[in-house]
Amino acid sequence: MTASARTPARPATAASAAVLNDGLAVSIRDLKKAYVLAGGTVHALRGVSFDVPTGDFVSIMGPSGSGKSTLLNLLGCLDRPTGGEFYLGPDNVAQMSDDELADVRASRLGFVFQSFNLLPALTVLENIELPLHYSGRLGRDSRQRCEELADKVGLGDRLDHRPMQLSGGQQQRVAIARSLVNDPWFLLADEPTGNLDTATTREILDLLTGLNEEGRTIILVTHEPEVADLTKRTVVLRDGLVVYDGHPDGSRAALDASRRKDGPNGAR
Ligand SMILES: Nc1ncnc2c1ncn2[C@@H]1O[C@H](COP(=O)(O)OP(=O)(O)O)[C@@H](O)[C@H]1O
Ligand SMILES: [Mg+2]
């Protein structure tokens, strides 16, 4: 694999997913992101490197301003790095055109947000179906696939409900079903339980854990150690650099050290 061989975005089929970059869903090397502002340049990511093997379950942690959202935006192909390499499967995302990035986003990635981001005018079934419109994959068997996904997240009897008629936990279940509809290469979740109470958080985490046990690769941002503890691996960022990458158990010390360095008020 060479960095110069730009491969056009291809549909994510089970076969193509199986031959991802030697079993890596994501590979980033010395990834940098600088925002140029009138008052100066903000170096949000200053050289981040890690691999995410297919089937991994990674939590990204770090104090406010450490670069978590910036990293998630890059991994989600919502933005382009200003330096370094980012391989998504076999493709170097840093070299893709805007059209290719949009195609990757629509067809290969699944997104779950803190605020669910469902369309209020659409039913559960239509919300789940939505990514198929964007990726141009709406077909004869779409309805059945969406019903199966609704079943999978425990909402098989709520297909015609609108988001307003559902609890927060149920809305997040719809969002998770929606994120799976294109059979993505991995799921990206930004504080997926941030708006949920403790019991509902547990249910959503059980759902995500179950998906991971089925082989789904998941990368999530969280500031809750209890959430990170349920993942297989934690990456801690500080000031745009990785300061810890390993078992969630060991991340506390790195996070505490970050807070101490930030002074008596903790995270900035
Ligand atoms: N669009 C942007 N323009 C300028 N600076 C930004 C932008 N987004 C983030 N930053 C800066 O980059 C740094 C990292 O921010 P962010 O990735 O949002 O961190 P986190 O999600 O960990 O709180 C911060 O200093 C932030 O102010
Ligand atoms: Mg953030």
CATH of the domain at 195: 3.40.50.300
pLDDT of residue 89: 78
Residue listed under structure tokens 């391989």: 87
Query: Average pLDDT in the 242-251 region?
Result: 96
Eight-class DSSP state of 223: S
Residue 11 is predicted with a pLDDT of 43
Tokens of 120: 């209020």
Listed in sequence order, the residues at least 6 apart from 117 whose beta carbon sits closer than 8 Å to its beta carbon are: 111, 175
* 122, part of any domain: yes
State in Å: Cα 10 to ligand 2 middle: 30
Question: Is there a domain that residue 230 lies in?
Answer: yes
Asked if residue 91 is part of any domain, the answer here is no
Task: Confirm if 80 and 50 have CB atoms less than 8 A apart.
Answer: no
Confidence of residue 17 (pLDDT cuts 50, 70, 90): very low
Mean pLDDT (the chain) is 89
Closest Cα to atom 18 of ligand 1: 69
* Burial group, residue 100, by CB count within 10 angstroms (0-12, 13-18, 19+): middle
Say what angle helices 198-213 and 168-180 make with each other, to 10 degrees: 20
pLDDT in tens, 88-109: 878 888 888 999 999 999 889 9
Does residue 12 fall inside a structural domain? no
Note the pLDDT tens digit of each residue in 47-77: 999 999 999 999 999 999 999 999 999 999 9
CA distance 139 to 90: 27
Query: Which residue's CA is the closest to the ligand 1 atom numbered 6?
Result: 35
**For ligand 1, what atom is nearest to the CA of residue 63?**
22
Q: Which atom of ligand 1 is nearest to the CA of 62?
A: 22
Q: How many domains does the chain have?
A: 1
Evaluate whether 186 touches 217 at the Cβ level (below 8 Å).
Answer: yes
Query: Which bound ligand lies closest to the C-alpha atom of 44?
Result: 1
Which residues span the domain enclosing 202?
A: 54-81+96-261
Q: Does a structural domain hold residue 157?
A: yes
Q: Flag whether 194 is in a domain.
A: yes
Query: Best of 33, 59, 70 to mutate for ligand 1, by most ligand atoms within 8 A of CB?
Result: 70
**In the chain, where do the E strands start and end?**
24-37, 40-53, 57-61, 83-88, 91-92, 109-113, 186-190, 218-221, 233-238, 241-246
pLDDT digits (tens, 9 = 90+) for 112-134: 999 999 999 999 999 999 999 88
Q: Which atom of ligand 1 is nearest to the CA of 70?
A: 17
Instruction: Kindly report the number of other CB atoms within 10 A of residue 145's CB atom.
Output: 18
Q: Is residue 35 helix, strand or coil?
A: strand
**Confidence label for 1 from pLDDT (cuts 50, 70 and 90):** very low
pLDDT class of 262 with cuts at 50, 70, 90:
low
Q: Which of 18-22, 159-163, 209-213, 218-222 has the lowest mean pLDDT?
A: 18-22
pLDDT in tens, 221-244: 999 999 999 999 999 999 999 999
In tens, the pLDDT along 154-193 reads 999 999 999 999 999 999 999 999 999 999 999 999 999 9
Residue at 235 is within a domain: yes
The mean pLDDT value for 18-38 works out to 85
Q: Which residues pair with 113 in a beta bridge?
A: 190
Asked if residue 68 has its Cβ within 6 Å of ligand 1, the reply is: yes
Output the CA–CA distances (angstroms, integers) from residue 233 to 78, 171, 239, in the order listed.
24, 27, 20
Does some domain include residue 25? no
